[in-house]
A and B are shown apart, each in its own frame.
Chain A
Amino acid sequence: MSTSLRNSRAVALAAATAALLLVGLALAFYWVPNAPLEGFRQRIFYIHVPVALTAYACFGWAAWKGLRLLWTREQRYDLESYTAVHMGVIFGILTLVTGSIWARTSWNTWWSWEERQLVLFLVLFLFYSAYFMLRFSVDPGPRRERMSAVYALFGVVLIPVSFLAIRLAEGLIHPVVFDSQVNTRLTASQLITFVVCFAGTLALAGSLYVNELTGKRIDARLGELREALE
């Protein structure tokens, strides 16, 4: 892809991010009515769940890029997979923090082992943090690229397996003290607000991803240049 085409795409994505997030925020705070049962605090839903789903999307993207690397052995997929994991971890941390705040408003506690999403993200956070430890302790090269790709694939497989494990652990390992509030039915206005916010966070992840990838590519090429000149 030519650089100018890439740049204009990045700008368009950034513009879309800004628009979607602004509209989404406005909808979440001003337009959508209070949820009948929970009241105002339910609005955390419009930032917490989109961020969580975006984190999953990032990890999935990283695994896909890892698979492409193992398939084609093209080096560029390594940077793309690595950047996607980085984005996933950032959004994962955001999920944990917003989820913790939500737990505080709902059950007056900063952490709840009953909240499946929170526990799952804690496990994933541990897993993908180890990804960085792996990358930093192996010398750069095709071996490291392949190991990172395999690990990213393991991660995406771990997501459903861990979720199942956490569900099995409920009630058995941790006392059922709080009743998990699961909103399965969304009203039309809630759904619209959610979709806009979700699109916004996805676009945000995409924008950050594109930017960081460009920065990493520049870094790599500068390294090549330096080797050529010295």
Chain B
Amino acid sequence: MSYLADVGTLARKDLLLELRSRDTLPAMLLFVVSTLVVFSFALPADASDAAAYGLLWVAIVFTAILGLTRAFAAERDQRVLDGLVLAPCDRSAIWLGKGIAVLAFLALAEVVALPAFALFFEPVSWELVAAVVLADGGLAAVGTLLAAMAAASRARELLLPLLFLPLAIPIVVGGVGASIADDPGRYLGFLVLYDLIFAILSWASFEYVVTE
């Protein structure tokens, strides 16, 4: 039970920090809307309607990267990560707590992005929303682990997109498929599979990534 309490404490810490500093979330919101506007200029006039859905998913992935880049920034700058690791909680609780916070930020960004998308481009179906929710899980799970790796490197913001994008490709396939295919169920099922596999893998391997 104390494991979940630890997770809750860690997640609440990140959310409260963000509430007070208000730097990451507004940036993500503005970024995703700006990206959508850029895309409206990037699509030629005779582009298919489906192409817009593809661009939405690109925007989501890159907004996730933006948020993740900041995920461990505070800890790294204040050298708090070593302290967290020394704390008597299970290291994977750090992953879960941080992941939940990332998930919250991403979801809030999408609360703005999806209506904007529906306004500028194409209607948003329930399958699309379901896909977005599932994809957020996968993005947060894998992204939190990779962000911890990148935080320990010298390259930092440069490294995270390189590590993240190949792993994000299946999520994009699942998301776009759920948006435009005739049978979105297959793609939603695939997203569930991705989330399960990579959440378990990330949860199990997080402690090896953060300890000295």
Contacts and interface: CB of A to CB of B under 8 A. Distances in A.
The answer to whether A and B touch in the complex, with CB atoms under 8 Å apart, is yes
Contacts of B155: 133, 137
B152 A172 contact: no
Contacts of A143: 152, 211-212
Interface in B148-201: 149, 152-155, 158-159, 162-163, 165-167, 169-170, 173-174, 176-177, 180-181, 186-187, 190, 193-194, 197-198, 201
B167 A138 contact: no
A173 interface: yes
B181 A133 contact: no
Contact of A157 (B166, B177, B201): B201
B112 interface: no
A158 interface: yes
Interface in A79-110: none
Contacts of A172: 176-177, 180-181
A126, A127, A130, A133 — most chain B CB neighbours (10 Å)? A130
A162 B169 contact: yes
Interface of B is mostly: helix
Interface in A143-176: 143, 146-147, 149-151, 153-154, 157-158, 161-162, 164-166, 168-169, 172-173
Nearest to A128: B166
Contact of B162 (A70, A133, A158): A133
A123 B187 CA distance: 19
B118 interface: no
Chain A interface size range: 20 to 34
Given A154-B201, A157-B198, 5 more contacts: A123-B166, A130-B166, A147-B208, A150-B209, A172-B180
Chain B interface size range: 35 or more
Contacts of A139: 154
A168 B54 CA distance: 15
B174 A138 contact: no
A158 B166 contact: yes
Contacts, number: 94
Given A70-B208, A150-B205, A173-B176, A164 B159 contact: no
A134 interface: yes
Contact of B165 (A126, A166, A168): A126
A124 B165 CA distance: 11
B201 A134 contact: no
B57 to A, nearest CB: 11
Contacts of A173: 54, 173, 176-177
26 contacts: A124-B166, A130-B163, A133-B159, A134-B149, A137-B154, A137-B158, A138-B152, A138-B154, A143-B152, A146-B211, A147-B208, A147-B209, A150-B145, A150-B205, A154-B167, A154-B198, A157-B201, A162-B170, A165-B169, A165-B174, A165-B190, A166-B173, A168-B186, A168-B190, A172-B177, A172-B180
A172 B53 CA distance: 13
